[in-house]
Amino acid sequence: MELSNRQEQIIQIVKDNGPITGENIADRLDLTRATLRPDLAILTMAGFLDARPRVGYFFTGKTGSELFTEKLKKFKVSEYQSLPILVEENVSTYDAICTMFLEDVGTLFVIDNKTHLVGVLSRKDLLRASMGSQDLSSIPVHIIMTRMPNITICEEDDLLLDAAQKLIEKQIDALPVVNRTEDGLEVIGRLTKTNITKALVELARDQHL
């Protein structure tokens, strides 16, 4: 987060004199309390300053990168997941390829007739199947998919960082976001490397870190 000169000055004043009232900070800068209000709000929201009623502002001692990390560690999968694209396990490999193109995704999740997760199809799984001379419309996807229980999953309440760690460890591009039910896993979302990249960019651009 880029701080303005005035915001830097405010931090310095609070560091040296805190706890200090908004009125007092304004006096030292020769400004009115009203002029200062947006800056104080930003610095408080960003976590640089804290304010206690009837005491005033004080410096939290946190650096920009500490605050960045603190915020990143709070992101949940639910805030960044995309919609899952599902195919039924008896669908042909040819149809799965069409679905992947039409839906513009890199990973499909495969479900059984009770809509429970049974497998994952990546671009490379489909490419590999296309390399042989078989008729793709006669090969059901359950033959070529990566299957349960070898599927790496996450849940809506998981931390985004933990999901990102799984993507790195398993060297995969996407995780199904699931709900555990009594008889299986229901797919409710899709978490990809793109979602995580978006979270990072959003965080870096957020002026109110």
Chain residues in the site for ligand ADP (CB under 6 A): 107, 120, 122-125, 146, 150-152, 171-175
Q: Name the residue number minimizing CB distance to ligand ADP.
A: 124
Give phi and psi for 91, each to the nearest 5: -65, 150
How many angstroms from the chain centroid is the CA of residue 49?
A: 26
Q: What single letter denotes the amino acid at residue 184?
A: G
Question: Which residue, 130 or 152, is less far from ligand ADP as judged by CB?
Answer: 152
Question: Which residue, 50 or 125, is less far from ligand ADP as judged by CB?
Answer: 125
Minimum gap (Å) between residue 196 Cβ and ligand ADP: 13
Question: Which residue, 133 or 171, is less far from ligand ADP as judged by CB?
Answer: 171
**What ranges in the chain are assigned the alpha helix state H?**
5-17, 22-29, 33-45, 64-72, 77-80, 93-103, 123-131, 141-144, 160-170, 193-205
Minimum gap (Å) between residue 133 Cβ and ligand ADP: 21
Question: Which residue, 30 or 169, is less far from ligand ADP as judged by CB?
Answer: 169
Max CA pair span of the chain: 81
